[in-house]
Amino acid sequence: MRVASACVLLALLAGCGGGGGRLSASEFRSKADAICGDYNAKIKRKSAGVNGSDPKVIAAALDKVIPLVQEGEAKLRKLKPPSELQSDWDRWLKLGDEQVPIAKKLRDAAKSSDETNFTKALQQLASNENAQDRLAKGKLGLTVCGKSS
């Protein structure tokens, strides 16, 4: 089975994931990027030592990483951006919501050595992450949340 580098694969899942009232733009960016940085580091620690050639190892790593992605997304969802960023933030969160089901398909394909579905899920995940990164770096002005690697 051809398998993409596990580091790249796991980095794709590191797309990021409180607050009371609406934050200023700078507060919002700072808090969002801090959460993303925290969870990117946690994901990196959980996936340390994963090689890119064994699908079973990749599947096991995804089993560890997916809950972290969900946890990070929950924290990010609590942020209240300024009203002028809300619609873009909602779009960014929607893209993030799509990542976990795709990652589960990727994990399941790796577990069953299904190269066709693995490749398809990997491509979907990369496309989703690229769209999320463009939105983060562009309209939202995020830096850490806009890095998929």
pTM greater than 0.75: yes
Which residues are within 8 A (CB) of 122 and not within 5 positions of it... i.e. 6 or more apart? 4, 9, 12, 106
Lowest-confidence segment of 44-58, 68-82, 106-120 by average pLDDT: 44-58
Looking at the predicted structure, is the pLDDT value of residue 119 above 80?
A: yes
pLDDT of residue 52: 66
Q: Could you give the maximum distance between any two Cα atoms of the chain, in Å?
A: 49
Q: What is the pLDDT of residues 98-118, one digit of tens each?
A: 999 999 999 999 999 899 999
Predicted local confidence at residue 56, as pLDDT: 82
Average pLDDT, rounded, for the chain: 84
On the question of pLDDT at 76 being above 80, the answer is yes
